[in-house]
């Protein structure tokens, strides 16, 4: 049986923290679908198409990875594609509370789909998409924190 996981998130934009979680999860799963949340209420900086393109360009054609988006619930998407697990990253205690609640909600919807949590690598603990954008606007060099294709697009924010 092929083990399929979904890595859901805003990815506005994808950072080296996200890429690290994805690469580590790829050691455990046969296929991972990076699922971009299409939620205009979050007022994203980049469109869904831009976010998907940045993910693709950053992953360099890994045959085990797919990129998609959804306007619906992650668990419903997982059911549709026959996924076994959801992948999430944990940076700090503040992430834990939110992730604990999300996990309970997802388990309520479908208890057969497990969430698997990866602890952030120490170097990437402080990275979030919003911190990166603030640093770019403030003129900070973020080239060691995001993939090259993301850096190119972030320059348009200045």
**CB nearer to ligand ADP: pick between 79 and 95:** 95
The CB density around residue 124, as the number of other CB atoms within 10 Å, is: 18
Minimum CB separation of residue 88 from ligand ADP in Å reads: 4
> For this structure, is 133 an active site residue?
no
**Quick one: 15 or 70, whose CB is closer to ligand ADP?**
15
Instruction: Say which of 91, 121, 133, 153 is annotated catalytic.
Output: 91
**Interface with ligand ADP (CB under 6 A):** 9-11, 15, 17-18, 21, 88-89, 91, 95, 120, 124, 127-129
Starting at the edge strand found earlier in the chain, the sheet holding 4-9 runs: 65-70, 31-37, 4-9, 85-90, 114-119
* Smallest separation, CB 7 to ligand ADP (Å): 7
Using the 8-state DSSP alphabet, how is residue 130 labeled? Answer: H
Reported as type and span, the H/E element at residue 24 is helix 16-25
Structure tokens at 70: 């959804």
Residue nearer to ligand ADP on the CB measure, 77 or 124: 124
HSE of 104, CA atoms in CB hemisphere, 13 A: 5
H/E element, 23: helix 16-25
91 is catalytic: yes
Q: How far is the CB of 1 from ligand ADP (least distance, A)?
A: 25
Q: Please give the positions annotated as active site.
A: 18, 42, 91, 129
């Amino acid at each position: 049986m092929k083990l399929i996981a979904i890595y859901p998130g805003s990815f506005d934009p994808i950072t080296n923290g996200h890429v690290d979680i994805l690469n580590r999860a790829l050691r455990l799963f046969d296929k991972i679908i990076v699922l971009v949340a299409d939620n205009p209420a979050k007022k994203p900086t980049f469109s869904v198409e831009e976010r998907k393109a940045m993910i693709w360009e950053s992953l360099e054609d890994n045959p085990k990875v797919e990129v998609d988006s959804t306007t619906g619930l992650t668990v419903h998407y997982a059911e549709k594609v026959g996924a076994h697990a959801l992948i999430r990253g944990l940076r700090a205690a503040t992430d834990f509370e939110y992730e604990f609640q999300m996990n309970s909600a997802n388990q309520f919807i479908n208890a057969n789909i497990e969430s698997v949590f990866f602890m952030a690598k120490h170097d990437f603990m402080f990275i979030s998409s919003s911190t990166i954008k603030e640093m770019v606007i403030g003129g900070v060099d973020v080239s060691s924190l995001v993939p090259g294709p993301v850096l190119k697009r972030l320059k348009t924010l200045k």
